[in-house]
Amino acid sequence: MIVGIDLGTTNSLIACYTPDGPKIIPNRLGKNLTPSVVSVDENGQIYVGEAAKERMLLYPDTAAAVFKRDMGSDKKFKLGKVKGVTDGQEFEKEYEFSAVELSSFVLRFLKEDAEHYLGEEITEAVISVPAYFNEQRRKATKQAGELAGLKVDRIISEPTAAAVAYGLYQEKKDSKFLVFDLGGGTFDVSILELFSDILEVHAVAGDNFLGGEDFTQVIVDMFFEKNEELDRDKLDDKVLRHITSQADKCKRLLEMESYSDMKCNIDDKIYEFRLDAKEYEFRCQDLLGRIKEPIKRSLADAGIKVSDIDKIVLVGGSTKLALIRRFVSRIFRKMPELSINPDEAVALGAAIAAAMKERNEDVKELILTDVCPFTLGTEVAVQIEEDDYESGHYCPIIERNTVIPASRTQRLYTVRDNQKRIAVNVLQGESRFAGNNLLLGTLEVDIPAAKAGEEAIDVTYTYDINSLLEVQVRIVSNGRILKKVFKNQDVNMTDEQIKQRFEEIAYLKIHPRDQEENRLLLLKGERMYEQSLGNDRAIIDMKMQEFEMVLNGGDERKIMVAREHFAKFLERFDMDL
């Protein structure tokens, strides 16, 4: 079976296609959402999801989150000191991971839960990415899947997956749709059109550094403004994580009320803050302004007006915010589609895409087209005076939002007498200067010597739906052809490199399924103890000791009963913190 995975900034989900349609596969805790958080303890035990999120509040220097924003980059995340044994010798060192490796832990966690739930091995997945992810980020996502033991032949854009999940392809008439995707860390807007059995993406735009986390930070800023005696710069990471966590809870409570309250225990003193919905919306105007820009750009690229849009689809957990829904309704003068949980739409759509890849007879045949999210081009020299050329300029070959697969050709001429070589720098981006765009690679071409302008090459870019770019260079004078498929070396690993990396992190083990619920409750209890004062602390401590005594007894039946009671106790207490 091929599964669909939504590898999110804040939360991740895995889904499969069943005779009753697409279904989210619950994780080992019975929840659909798995927080995209990874933590490592001093024994080299990896925690993923809820347990890692709790550890991040208690031990922030051992955990990482929001790493999706750094996919395809060289950034390293340090997760504290890790102990292990090699060749019988104990060692201790500070360990660090890339965003790709952290994502692979989340994917492996999801894979294990799916295998347990379905009772079969999972070896292949369709993984979704933001529509605005560039080549590096898409290939980094595929590499994360490979490190997790998954074959990833298909990467699907999140808005396309969401459109499929909403059943847009089952509409009876030709329609235009706008998918508004605001997740925890990224924002995408895509315009799609349905005609016959073809769902075609016309334009995409977005911001890889705008999401729900930014709306939470607005509340954090307001909290510090209200509590002026707190010096943000002097607080440690643990306290800052606590404040951010409470601000996020405050934000979610505001979805249903005109105000919400926030409480933080800092150095045994309770600091309070009341968030007013109208004031919060006013303070978010800069972020809402940033949302408008990709909407304008996508409409312009698609060549349509707001009034041409037949349906608005909301995707991503952050679209649950009342201020976001009001904002969208004002812009498009219509209510958005709300029939599917926005947290789950992308994963469900990825599962449908996986079923299509399997040729599942229960899935209606649909042709999905996508677009090239960034312009692809090369570096050229431009004439600034009669015999003077300036290098470093960008020549677009396949423009952004071109429907793919696509092939385009550009003829380029020599600029110097007796020039014998041309370097075709393959670039991705929108800047008119080559140096500001992403270099995917270079193709060196030897050409016959001749006067400037007499020798030329035809450069053909061919870009397919699997994000593979083939560059062909044809020397006009002799017809000689050179070809190269570009795969960015920074984010692609050979099978041997993947195997070697597996061996390097072999001593790191994801926390066992059967201990996850118990460990999570103890972490929650420890966190709540630290946030409480006086008699509340004593009560939490007593309840934790009672639960630990049952765990030490090893009686599974008693553990199950005690876990249920302890979980209910923590839930009641957490509402007051």
What residues are labeled active site? Answer: 6, 68, 158, 181
> How many Å separate Cα 395 from the centre of its chain?
30
Parallel, antiparallel, or unpaired for β 403-404 and 367-371?
antiparallel
Cα separation of 377 and 485, whole Å?
Answer: 15
Tokens of 121: 């091995």
Residue 573: which H helix or E strand, with range?
Answer: helix 556-574
Tokens of 146: 């490979």
Cα separation of 190 and 208, whole Å?
Answer: 14
Buried b (16+ CB within 10 A) or exposed e, 504-527: ebeebebbeeeebbbbbbbbbbbb
Prior bond of 336 cis (ω within 30°): no
Beta-carbon contacts of residue 283 (< 8 Å; ≥ 6 apart)? 218, 221, 222
Cα separation of 255 and 246, whole Å?
Answer: 15
3-state secondary structure of 211: coil
- Which class for 294: exposed (0-12), middle (13-18), buried (19 or more C-beta within 10 A)? buried
Cα separation of 80 and 44, whole Å?
Answer: 10
Beta-carbon contacts of residue 279 (< 8 Å; ≥ 6 apart)? 222
Task: Name which of 431, 433, 429 is nearest 393 in CA terms.
Answer: 433
C-alpha distances out from residue 163 to 158, 326, 486, Å = 9, 21, 30
- Which class for 423: exposed (0-12), middle (13-18), buried (19 or more C-beta within 10 A)? exposed
Report whether 277 contacts 322 (CB < 8 A).
Answer: yes
Beta-carbon contacts of residue 5 (< 8 Å; ≥ 6 apart)? 12, 13, 14, 15, 107, 110, 125, 126, 127, 128, 145, 347, 350
Strand order in the sheet with 45-48: 63-65, 37-40, 45-48, 509-510
Cα separation of 429 and 375, whole Å?
Answer: 5
Task: Name which of 331, 423, 344 is nearest 128 in CA terms.
Answer: 344
Cα separation of 260 and 498, whole Å?
Answer: 48
* Phi (first) and psi of residue 502, to 5 degrees: -55, -45
Radius of gyration of the chain (CA): 26
Cα separation of 280 and 257, whole Å?
Answer: 12
Amino acid, res. 4: G
C-alpha distances out from residue 357 to 125, 158, 364, Å = 10, 17, 12
